[in-house]
Amino acid sequence: MLCQRCHRKLKSQRSIEIGLGPICKKKHDRELVEAEFLKNQITIDEVLEEKQVS
Ligand SMILES: [Zn+2]
């Protein structure tokens, strides 16, 4: 079983179940969050600007 992102061998049972190594899982999760921002048509920059205004 190899990581779907970097194609390295997965060592832990959990990683094998997910199909991603722990680092690639984090990157994958981050991409999901960014995709959610895009879906809502809000960019991370806009969120940061809102924080600066308030
Ligand atoms: Zn990987």
For residue 29, give the amino acid letter. Answer: D
Instruction: Report the candidate in 23, 21, 17, 18 with the shortest Cα–Cα distance to residue 7.
Output: 21
Give the distance (Å) from ligand 1 centre to CA of residue 45. Answer: 28
> For residue 5, is it within any domain?
no
Give the distance (Å) from ligand 1 centre to CA of residue 14. Answer: 13
Q: What is the pLDDT of residue 40?
A: 81
- Average pLDDT over every residue of 13-42: 92
State the average pLDDT for the chain.
Answer: 88
Which range marks the domain in which residue 37 is found?
13-53
Helix (H, G, I), strand (E, B) or coil at 8: coil
> For residue 3, is it within any domain?
no
Of the pLDDT bands very low, low, confident and very high (cuts 50, 70, 90), residue 54 is low
Give the distance (Å) from ligand 1 centre to CA of residue 53. Answer: 39
d(CA 27, CA 12): 18
Of the pLDDT bands very low, low, confident and very high (cuts 50, 70, 90), residue 29 is very high
pLDDT at residue 39 above 80? yes
Give the distance (Å) from ligand 1 centre to CA of residue 40. Answer: 28
Q: How many domains does the chain have?
A: 1
> For residue 24, is it within any domain?
yes
Per DSSP, helices labelled H in the chain are 13-18, 22-39, 44-53
> For residue 1, is it within any domain?
no
> For residue 21, is it within any domain?
yes
Give the distance (Å) from ligand 1 centre to CA of residue 32. Answer: 16
Q: What is the pLDDT of residue 21?
A: 97
Q: Whole-prediction pTM value?
A: 0.64
> For residue 47, is it within any domain?
yes
